[in-house]
Amino acid sequence: MLPENITAVVGRNDRWTGNAASEPHECGWAREAIIFVRALKTPKGKQPVARVEISPDGMRWLPEGTEAAMPSEKDGIIALRVNHFGNWLRVSADFGNDAESTVLVTIHLKA
Partner 1 sequence: MTIQKTPTADMAEALRLAMLRANPDLSRFDPLPRIISHDDFSRGHCGWSQLVGNYEDDLDTMLPGYAQHTSAMISTLGHWDAGSHGGMDSSYALKIATRARAGARNVAIKRHTFRKRGPIRFEVYFTFKPEANELALSETDVRSVGFLFDLQGGDRDNADDRIMPHIRFLNAENGKHVQKWQFKPETTKFKTIGTADKTVSHDHLAPEGWRDLPDGGQRLCYNEIPTKINWTYLCFDFDLESMRATGFRCNDRTFDMSGFRSISIPAMKNLWCMLNFCLFAETDTDKRAFLYVDSVCISGDF
Per CB under 8 A, the list member of 16, 17, 18, 26 interacting with partner 1 is 26
Backbone angles phi, psi at 66, to 5 degrees: -85, 130
Count of alpha carbons within 13 angstroms of residue 103, beta-carbon side: 30
Question: Is residue 77 involved in binding partner 1 (CB under 8 A)?
Answer: no
Contact between residue 41 and residue 33 where contact means Cβ atoms under 8 Å apart: no
Per CB under 8 A, the list member of 32, 67, 76, 87 interacting with partner 1 is 87
Question: Is residue 8 involved in binding partner 1 (CB under 8 A)?
Answer: yes
- Would you put residue 59 in left (φ > 0), alpha (ψ -120 to 50) or beta? alpha
Per CB under 8 A, the list member of 4, 44, 45, 46 interacting with partner 1 is 4
**What are the residues binding partner 1 (CB under 8 A)?**
1, 4, 6-13, 23-29, 40, 56-59, 87
